[in-house]
Structure 1
């Protein structure tokens, strides 16, 4: 985690503790099962009657929209609306971009498939290029120096010829497929 994220999480934890030395227990209402779960120390709660309850997704969404509106966040003159799930995706992107392996991120998120986690992760073209360049640099550091020579003219012609033949075989050279 970045130092900034740690600072924010520590502040949230302090707020949740209040004057105590531990985060108070709170219950979470399951709208599908229509039951309250066992008490646990949740970070984002509100007082309802005599007990602390976990913020529902709709309450969290209203709070996020209100904060975005008060901050004046806009895109092309239109207000930006976030959902709690957007922050799950942002968190996933940040984790994976910071070097956390995808399979560990999937476990943290409770995903059974890496494809689900991969879909959560936003990848930007400059990050792909930077990651590829870093990979090439690491690979070059482990290869013998003799392999890092420029290709000869003959080798390069053979390489290009392979792709020209491939274009003909796949019908991408603007000639009908199968013609000489």
Structure 2
């Protein structure tokens, strides 16, 4: 199994990832193109925007030939390539607008895909190099369809209970008692929080305060 080793990044931790066959094939094609007739990838320098320093020469995969020189792709060039690629393919979103990607969007897409396909979030955290699980779960979008589909699985009763008992039609007396309970809750301002069919501990004394008080000038009427 091909493994991809990620050098320490902003978290100062090294990662070892399993490379799928498609990813291994892409990395192999990039490596062959960069090597050319030589046996090694050319060493190029790159500028670190946040640290504002030039990194030492490294065998970067994102590099190109400019004349007789090998130069690393700057971040602006990579972002421009990501913007131009969907535009040339005509890909659009659900509203018909052209798709616009940023490099970080692919991290969000990756986290969504792996978690939705059953990967535990704490394993996705290690793959992404996050220190906190909250960061990983923040990348994961929760769609309404997931909520609708996941709720029945959580609320599904035991299989031993017959379906006739789980979904029986309530009797008229039960329905009237249920509706009458909520009518009483409204009368007693609805703040008691008492359980269904239980009596009001206030003996409905709060009804006096919940009703609109008449104007003293109109009491004679």
Q: Sort the TM-score into its range (normalised by shorter chain).
A: 0.5 to 0.7
Question: Which residue pairs with 1:16 in the alignment?
Answer: 30
Q: Could you tell me how far apart the structure 2 residues matched to 1:132 and 1:106 are?
A: 25
Q: CA deviation at 1:10?
A: 3.1
Q: Give 5+ residue unaligned stretches, structure 1.
A: 172-177
Quote how far apart the aligned CAs of 1:83 are: 0.8
Larger relative helix fraction? 1
1:101 equivalent in structure 2? 120
> Residues 16-41 of structure 1: CA distance to partner in whole angstroms, max 9, x if unpaired?
23177x9847665422221315736x
Q: Return the TM-score normalized by structure 2.
A: 0.53
Distance (Å, rounded) in 1 between the aligned partners of 2:78 and 2:128: 19
In structure 2, relative to structure 1, the CA distance for the partners of 1:26 and 1:90 (3 Å cut) is farther
Which residue number in structure 2 is paired with residue 81 of structure 1? 100
* Paired position in structure 1 for 2:190: 168
CA distance in 2, matches of 1:122, 1:37: 38
C-alpha deviation, 1:170, in angstroms: 7.1
Deviation, structure 1 residue 111: 2.1
Q: Does 1:71 align with 2:89?
A: yes
Q: Indicate the residue corresponding to 1:179 in structure 2.
A: 206
Q: How many residues align?
A: 158
Equivalent residue, structure 2, for 1:150: 166
Of the three residues 146, 149, 153, the one matched with 1:130 is 149
CA drift at 1:65: 0.9
For residues 105-133 of structure 1, the C-alpha deviation after alignment (integer angstroms, 9 at most, x for no partner) is: 12222223322222211221112222333
SS for the counterpart of 1:117 is helix
Query: Residue 47 in 1 paired to residue 47 in 2?
Result: no
Match for residue 111 of structure 2?
92
For the residue of structure 1 that corresponds to 2:58, the secondary structure is coil
Superposition RMSD in Å = 4.1
Q: C-alpha distance in 2, partners of 1:25/1:140?
A: 63
Q: Are 1:61 and 1:84, in contact at CA under 8 Å, matched by a contact in 2?
A: yes
Q: Secondary structure at the match of 1:32?
A: coil
Q: After superposition, what is the alpha-carbon deviation per residue over 1:34-82, rounded to whole angstroms, capped at 9, x for unaligned?
A: 1315736x5x4113565564x4432221111111110112344543321
Q: Which has the larger radius of gyration?
A: 2
* Distance across 1 between alignment mates of 2:138 and 2:69: 41
- Return the offset for 1:89: 0.9
Give the secondary structure class of the aligned counterpart of 2:118.
coil
